């Protein structure tokens, strides 16, 4: 895309057309400045088919805030809108509305509360809450969903892959299989969720993480075509990168060519006082090959070299490989723990696409309108009870049990504080027959999750660095019950309503019917 | 992301780190300006699990060419690379290489041949062929794969969805579920592949297609919260958009509330001389509801109004809905063909994510290096015979049978022209036992597919508009055998090698082993 076109495509018109037609309608009806509140939440955890998430990792907020602060109606945007025609040939957008957009419409009128990036989050709880004039709050919808949904999806997948890899380094390699420039958001989310580094150079530099990468099969092929062979390619690599020498050993044959050649070059490096870094396996049976590689590298006196695995990995594949190594390595005289502790996982396609479930069902719903001096909670009823909205302005509290593990997230009305309730009644969001009660004795602590991040366009908090978000994620995941962390068929975490919020919801459902 | 950061993240460092480390290695070895050729191709059609593609639609090239013409090493990029340290604390990139990058390295040294966007393409055939100095041709890899793979994936999905909808209008609605700014590439590819319009406003304007959209549930909810109800919301919409009135009727209850209210408003519009456009159904049993909606709209004298269906549609869902309408509509006294002819499909998540297979396995492989006065074909052997490269500089020819239908794509050496061969021998790319022969009598025409698009950075062809690409796609899909067009278990289209190319491949495999 040309640079000028990019400014249009990624600016304030980076939105669905209906946000603009609704905004004009609100303007025309004189209700565009009524104050409204929208909740961003997702309804279900990613479900990858054979397995499913038991928690998600929140991500994306800082980039949404950046976009909100940059996006505004430029003359070019107004001209494009002015040029649109309805079916009778008249203008879709009228001059008074366009003038208002050009001069009065930006996101500096909006306020946001949000759960910080890196935190564990669950379905049906507001992750980001937007309030402000109806037209602009509506106009934010598409960009908000676009910028938040995907980063939550990838941060969640990264957290799962990191869990499967038992904390061994995880590299994000997915740029070539991402949705074009969505790759950059994917890299950022992967870093928040569990990746230690990424191959994607530009965005890694922007985020302060050195990009990682060594060489591809094509380097070996090029040397072969020039008559030099794999050993020549490896020697050249070692010459140029004597202290970063990590060799891809499967271009010809891993065990018969790649590994013997790599070990030869490693010995030459050692003789010159350098420490070789390791090898990468990008094909074949990676449990078997990594055991054989470890055996050969150990035998040559390189027990500290890394073994990087790549090629269509995801959390289940990594889990299987690690489990198989544990079982099989001893049969070959290889120490399984030592081998696992030298593994590094490079994950591309299946991380950046959230393979198995490539979209988070995050939505942005009107939950309240300020009218006649008070908030009027809004509801949308669905034939599927779980899809009926939790109405109104809400707080989200996380309750920790006596072990210190998170036991439930509780949605409450703004004047309720579960910390002062002797007995906390937790209602299932839609099933009237399901509830439980917790006394303060059952609880070690209670924490509010939503933070005020923006007041009428002004940032209230400094954007934390990626490292702080990673640390939050590590802490929050540690505070989950092991059953919730399980990769396959995890235990269901409770997101509940207070009795008062439940009552309000039932009352609105009754009134709407 | 901040604007300055975006310039870094989307500029020439929009690449995997290993492209940079390999480029430095080629520079250090003095082979960075050896001329090499890389092929971009995919190995398998998208496989959506329960169904799979029988053809793909090529897309993405123009944006790749734009990127190549803009990307260059700025001082900021060089500084970021200069700051990188190896494990011994030394610089990863050395000053001579950085100086070369800053002053001599851009993509103006590269030449490209490509199959035009919008054309039907198949596995294992080069879609884009890059040749030029080894270092820069290598450096292009990540961006090329990132920019082409995704657009091919979505154009292909769009073509399938369009087929399922029997040519009825298809709207792309996926911005909120895309990988952040990848949404724009998704919209473009969807338009090339089969979507008629998109909801994504900015990129639609850039591409010259008016964005489409009316209103969301939130508009009805807002009016309800303000005490006005659904009818009030519809009336407001009709007042503001009397000639573009398309109403979403499922916020409360489609048949009992939404449709009666919409019909009331349509009657009011008609009385004022306006023609209502139609309704949108975003939930429920969309075959049943569209039959009932048609019946009600017909009964009220609005047989020409559109019925827009949205909500988790894809090619199989649309195929089922259309098939069911054919079977069920007559039982309710509704003309099935007339109903199908008023349908419009709005497809979001499952189009923009290519639901079921969210990544194309497109690769970029070194196939030849120019050395000692001639092209040295390069090969990479795989244990999976189908993954062994088709080596060297190749042309791609499409053969049409006597019905005028495409019967095979043929990869040939540059000095071969199947138009002059009395008998064309078509070899399976990897299975020695499979081949067939065609005489010129069996063939109605033979067409070369690759076009020279760039010579040393200079564009050789004007970039066609999206409409021309759409027209190519329509023509090429028409020229496929119906079995290849089938949505489920399509017939396998032949991509074959000439005898000479087969012989070269076998010779290289033998030499490498």
pLDDT at position B349: 98
User: Of the candidates B145, B239, B244, which has its C-beta nearest A86's C-beta?
Assistant: B244
With CB atoms and an 8 Å threshold, state whether B222 touches A36: yes
pLDDT > 70 in chain A, percent:
100
Name the band, by pLDDT with cuts 50, 70 and 90, for residue B386.
confident
B353-365 pLDDT tens trace = 999 999 999 999 9
Cβ contact (<8 Å) for B284 and A383?
Answer: yes
Please tell me the predicted confidence (pLDDT) of residue A243: 97
Which residue in the set A11, A87, A184 is minimally distant from B244, CB to CB?
A87
Shortest CB distance from B63 goes to which of A1, A19, A283?
A1
Average pLDDT of every residue of chain B: 96
Lowest mean pLDDT among A189-203, A367-381, B338-352: A367-381
Q: How confident is the model at residue A401 (pLDDT cuts 50, 70, 90)?
A: very high
Confidence band for A384, pLDDT divided at 50, 70 and 90: confident
For residues B219 and A219, give the distance between their C-alpha atoms in angstroms, rounded to a whole number.
57
Instruction: From chain A, pick out residues whose CB is under 8 angstroms from the CB of B149.
Output: 176-177
Give the pLDDT confidence of B249-258 residue by residue, as tens digits: 999 999 999 9
**Which pLDDT score is estimated for A232?**
97
Show Cβ contacts of residue A96 under 8 Å, excluding neighbours closer than 6 positions.
A27
Confidence of residue B4 (pLDDT cuts 50, 70, 90): confident
> Residue A372: its pLDDT value, please?
87
pLDDT over 80 at A135, yes or no: yes
- Nearest of A119, A145, A114, A123 to residue A53 by alpha carbon: A123
Find the residue in B nearest to A387 (Cα). Answer: B283
Strand A128-133 to strand A35-42: parallel, antiparallel, or no bridges (unpaired)? antiparallel
Angle at A314 between CA A311 and CA A318, to 5 degrees: 85
What is residue B171's predicted lDDT score, i.e. its pLDDT? 98
- The 3-state secondary structure of A279-348 reads EEECCCCHHHHHHHHHHHHHHCCCCCCEEEECCCCCHHHHHHHHHHHHHHHHHHCCCHHHHHCCEEEEEC
Burial class of residue B253, CB neighbours in 10 A (0-12, 13-18, 19+): middle
Give the pLDDT confidence of B134-189 residue by residue, as tens digits: 999 999 999 999 999 999 999 999 999 999 999 999 999 999 999 999 999 999 99
| ipTM of the prediction greater than 0.85, yes or no | yes
| Model confidence at B1: pLDDT above 90 | no
% of chain B with per-residue pLDDT over 90: 92
Compute the average pLDDT of residues B49-59. 96
Q: Rounded to 5 degrees, what are φ and ψ at A138? A: -65, -45
Q: Is the pLDDT of residue B3 over 90?
A: no
Task: Residue A212: list chain B partners with CB under 8 A.
Answer: 17
| pLDDT mean across residues, chain A | 96
Q: What is the pLDDT of residue B380?
A: 82
Q: Residue B440's pLDDT is what?
A: 95
Q: What residue in B sits closest to A185 (Cα-Cα)?
A: B180
Calculate the CA dihedral of residues A451, A456, A458, A462 and round it to 10 degrees: 10
Where does the pLDDT of residue B225 fall: very low under 50, low under 70, confident under 90, or very high at 90 and above?
Answer: confident
Q: Convert the pLDDT of each residue in B280-313 to its tens digit.
A: 999 999 999 999 999 999 999 999 999 999 989 9
Write the CB contacts of B353 (distance below 8 Å, at least 6 apart in sequence): A179, A353, A358, A359, B174, B177, B178
Contact: A201, B173; criterion CB under 8 Å = no
Higher pLDDT, residue A512 or A68:
A68
Scanning every residue of chain B, which has its alpha carbon at the shortest distance from the alpha carbon of A210? B84
The tally of CA atoms less than 13 A away on the side-chain side of residue B422 is 0
**Shortest CB distance from B243 goes to which of A87, A180, A182?**
A87
Q: Residue B182 corresponds to which tokens in the numbers above? A: 């990848």
Identify which of B5, B15, B283 has the shortest CB distance to residue A206: B5
Give me the numbers of helices (H) and strands (E) for chain B, helices first please. 19, 21
Q: What ranges in B308-360 are assigned the alpha helix state H?
A: 315-328, 336-340, 349-352
B199 to A17: CB separation less than 8 angstroms, yes or no: yes
Q: Is the pLDDT of residue A513 over 80?
A: no
Give B375's Cβ-side CA count (13 Å radius): 18
CA B232 vs. chain centroid, Å, equals: 41
Residue A293 to residues A255, A304, A341, A416, Cα–Cα distance (Å)? 8, 12, 14, 60
The pLDDT confidence band at residue A371, using thresholds 50, 70 and 90, is: confident
In the block, tokens 């399938």 appear at B160
What is the average pLDDT across A91-103?
Answer: 98
The pairing of strands B395-401 and A458-459 is: unpaired
Contacts of B283 in chain A (CB under 8 A): 382-383
DSSP A167-225: T--EEE--GGGSSTTHHHHHHHHHHHHT-SEESBHHHHHHHT--------HHHHHHHHH
Record: contact B378-A224, CB cut-off 8 A: yes
The answer to whether the CB atoms of B224 and A512 lie below 8 A apart is yes
What are A407-454's pLDDT values in tens digits? 999 999 999 999 999 999 999 999 999 999 999 999 999 999 999 999
Examine the pLDDT at A72 and tell me if it is beyond 80: yes
pLDDT tens column, B8-39: 999 999 999 999 999 999 999 999 999 999 99
> What pLDDT score was predicted for residue A152?
98
Tell me the pLDDT band of A375, cut-offs 50, 70 and 90. Answer: confident
Give the closest-approach CA distance of A404 to chain B in angstroms: 35
Separation between Cα atoms, residue A381 and residue A158, nearest integer Å:
34
Instruction: State how far the Cα of A507 lies from the Cα of A509, in Å rounded to an integer.
Output: 5
Residue with tokens 């399976």: B428
Q: What is the pLDDT of residue A382?
A: 75
- The minimal CB distance from B219 to the residues A22, A77, A224 is found for A22
The confidence score (pLDDT) of residue B437 equals: 96
Q: Which of B501, B481, B495 is nearest to B393 (CA)?
A: B501
Cβ contacts of residue A31 below 8 Å, gap of 6+? A134, B222, B226
pLDDT at A387: 82
Decide if pLDDT at B425 tops 80: yes
Q: Is 90 exceeded by the pLDDT of residue B243?
A: yes
**Chain B residues closer than 8 Å to A218 by CB:** 22, 38, 138, 141, 365-366
* 8 Å CB contact of A349 and B359: yes
**Rounded CA separation A314/A321 (Å):** 11
Looking at the predicted structure, is the pLDDT value of residue B340 above 90? yes
SS3 A121: strand
* Strand ranges inside B334-419, DSSP E: 343-347, 362-371, 374-377, 395-401, 406-412
**CA distances for B159 relative to A87, B115, B166, angstroms:** 27, 17, 11
Predicted pLDDT of residue A225? 87
Identify all chain B residues contacting A352, using CB atoms and an 8 Å cutoff.
Answer: 179
Task: Tell me the shortest Cα–Cα distance from A312 to chain B, in angstroms.
Answer: 11
How many angstroms away from the CA of B421 is the closest CA of chain A? 31
Mean pLDDT of A141-167: 98
Distance CA B138, CA B199 (A): 37
Q: CB A512 to CB B252 under 8 A?
A: yes
Considering only the beta carbons, identify the residue of B138, B150, B354 that sits closest to A180. B150
Mean pLDDT for the stretch of residues B40-48: 97
Work out the minimum CA distance from A212 to partner chain B, whole angstroms. Answer: 6
- A496-503 average pLDDT score: 96
Name A324's Cβ contacts closer than 8 Å, sequence gap at least 6: A287
- For residue A484, give how far its alpha carbon lies from the nearest alpha carbon of chain B (Å): 26
Look at residue A99 and give its three-state secondary structure. Answer: helix
Contact predicate A6/A70, CB 8 Å: no
CA quadruple A70, A75, A78, A80: dihedral sign: negative
Is B22's CB within 8 Å of A216's CB? yes
User: Is B229 buried (19+), middle (13-18) or exposed (0-12) by CB count in 10 A?
Assistant: middle
- Residue A60 confidence (pLDDT): 98
How many angstroms separate the CA atoms of B513 and B511, rounded?
A: 5
- DSSP letters for A447-486: EE--EEEEETTEE-SPPPPHHHHHHHHHHHHHTS-HHHH-
């Amino acid at each position: 895309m040309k640079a000028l076109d990019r400014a249009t495509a990624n600016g304030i018109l980076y939105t669905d057309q209906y946000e603009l037609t609704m905004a004009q309608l609100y303007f025309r009806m004189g209700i565009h400045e009524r104050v409204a509140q929208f909740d961003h939440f997702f309804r279900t955890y990613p479900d990858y088919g054979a397995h499913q998430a038991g928690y998600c990792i929140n991500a994306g907020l800082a980039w949404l805030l950046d976009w909100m602060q940059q996006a505004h109606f430029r003359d070019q945007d107004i001209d494009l809108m002015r040029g649109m025609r309805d079916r009778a040939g008249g203008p879709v957008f009228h001059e008074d509305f366009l003038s208002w957009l050009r001069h009065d419409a930006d996101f500096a009128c909006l306020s946001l509360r949000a759960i910080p990036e890196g935190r564990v989050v669950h379905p049906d709880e507001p992750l980001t809450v937007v309030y402000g004039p109806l037209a602009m709050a509506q106009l934010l919808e598409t960009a908000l969903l676009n910028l938040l949904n995907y980063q939550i999806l990838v941060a969640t997948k990264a957290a799962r892959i990191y869990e499967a890899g038992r904390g061994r380094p995880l590299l994000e390699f997915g740029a070539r299989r991402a949705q074009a420039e969505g790759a950059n958001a994917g890299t950022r989310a992967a870093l928040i969720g569990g990746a230690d580094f990424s191959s994607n150079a530009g965005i890694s530099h922007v985020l302060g993480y050195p990009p990682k990468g060594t060489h591809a099969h094509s380097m070996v092929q090029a040397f072969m075509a020039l008559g030099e062979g794999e050993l020549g390619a490896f020697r050249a690599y070692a010459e140029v990168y004597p202290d970063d020498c990590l060799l891809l050993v499967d271009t010809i044959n891993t065990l018969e060519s790649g590994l013997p050649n790599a070990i030869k070059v490693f010995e030459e490096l050692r003789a010159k006082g350098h420490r070789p870094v390791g090898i990468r396996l990008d094909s074949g049976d990676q449990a078997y090959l990594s055991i054989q590689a470890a055996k050969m590298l150990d035998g040559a006196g390189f027990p500290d070299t890394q073994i990087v695995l790549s090629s269509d990995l995801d959390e289940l594949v990594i889990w299987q490989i690690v489990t198989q190594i544990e079982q099989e390595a001893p049969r070959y005289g290889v120490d399984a723990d030592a081998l696992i502790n030298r593994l590094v996982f490079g994950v591309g396609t299946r991380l950046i696409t959230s393979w198995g479930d490539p979209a988070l069902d995050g939505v942005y719903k009107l939950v309240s309108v300020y009218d006649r001096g008070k908030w009027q909670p809004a509801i949308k009823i669905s034939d599927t009870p779980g899809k009926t909205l939790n109405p109104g302005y809400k707080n989200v509290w996380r309750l920790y049990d006596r072990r210190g593990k998170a036991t439930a997230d509780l949605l409450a009305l703004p004047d309720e504080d579960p910390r002062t309730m002797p007995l906390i009644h937790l209602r299932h969001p839609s099933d009237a027959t399901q509830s439980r009660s917790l006394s303060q004795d059952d609880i070690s602590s209670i924490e509010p999750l939503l933070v005020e991040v923006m007041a009428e366009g002004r940032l209230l908090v400094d954007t934390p660095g990626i490292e702080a978000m990673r640390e939050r994620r590590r802490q929050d995941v540690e505070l989950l019950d092991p059953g919730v962390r399980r990769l396959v068929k995890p235990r269901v975490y409770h997101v509940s309503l207070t009795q008062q919020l439940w009552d309000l919801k039932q009352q609105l459902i009754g009134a709407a019917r």
